[in-house]
Amino acid sequence: MSEPLILGIESSCDETGVGIVRGYELLANEVASSVELHVRFGGVVPEVASRAHLQAIVPTLRRALEKADVSLGEVDAIAVTAGPGLMGALVVGLSAAKALASVANKPLYGLNHLVGHVAVDMLEHGSLPQSCAALLVSGGHSSLLAVNDVTCDISELGATIDDAAGEAYDKVARLLGLPYPGGPVIDKAAQGGNPRAIAFPRGLTAQKDLAKHRFNYSFSGLKTAVSRWVETARLAGDEIEVNDVAASFQEAVCDVLTAKAIDACRYLATDQILLGGGVAANTRLRALLDERAAAAGITVRRPRPGLCTDNGAMIAVLGAEVVKAGLAPSGLEIGANPGLPVTQVVVR
When pLDDT is averaged across residues 155-176 and rounded to a whole number, the result is: 95
The domains found in the chain, sorted by start residue, are 5-120+311-347 (3.30.420.40), 130-303 (3.30.420.40)
CB atoms within 10 A of CB 199: 11
Rg of the chain over all Cα atoms, to the nearest angstrom: 20
Inter-residue contact 200 to 168 (CB < 8 Å) = no
Helices of type H across 69-202: 87-104, 113-119, 122-125, 165-175, 182-190
pTM (two decimals): 0.96
Would you state the pLDDT for residue 1? 59
Q: What is the pLDDT of residues 40-96, one digit of tens each?
A: 888 899 999 999 999 999 999 999 999 999 999 999 999 999 999 999 999 999 999
The confidence score (pLDDT) of residue 116 equals 98
Which helix (H) or strand (E) segment is 145 a member of? Answer: strand 142-149
Compute the distance between CA of residue 29 and CA of residue 64 in angstroms, rounded to an integer.
Answer: 6
Residue 30 has pLDDT above 80, yes or no: yes
Q: How far apart are CA 89 and CA 237, in angstroms?
A: 44
Least confident of 3-7, 137-141, 207-211: 137-141
List own/partner pairs for 304-307 with CB under 8 A and 24 or more apart: 304/124, 305/280, 305/281, 306/29, 307/29, 307/120, 307/121, 307/123, 307/124
Find, among 217, 215, 300, the residue nearest to 252 by Cα: 217
Average pLDDT for the chain: 96
CA distance 130 to 31: 31
Q: Please compute the mean of the pLDDT values over residues 121-126 and round it to a whole number.
A: 97
Each residue of 131-146: pLDDT tens digit? 999 999 987 889 999 9
Position 48 scores a pLDDT of 96
List the one residue out of 65, 67, 97 whose CA is nearest residue 81.
97
Report d(CA 22, CA 224) in Å as an integer: 46
pLDDT tens per residue, range 243-274: 999 999 999 999 999 999 999 999 999 999 99
- What pLDDT is stored for residue 88 in this prediction? 98
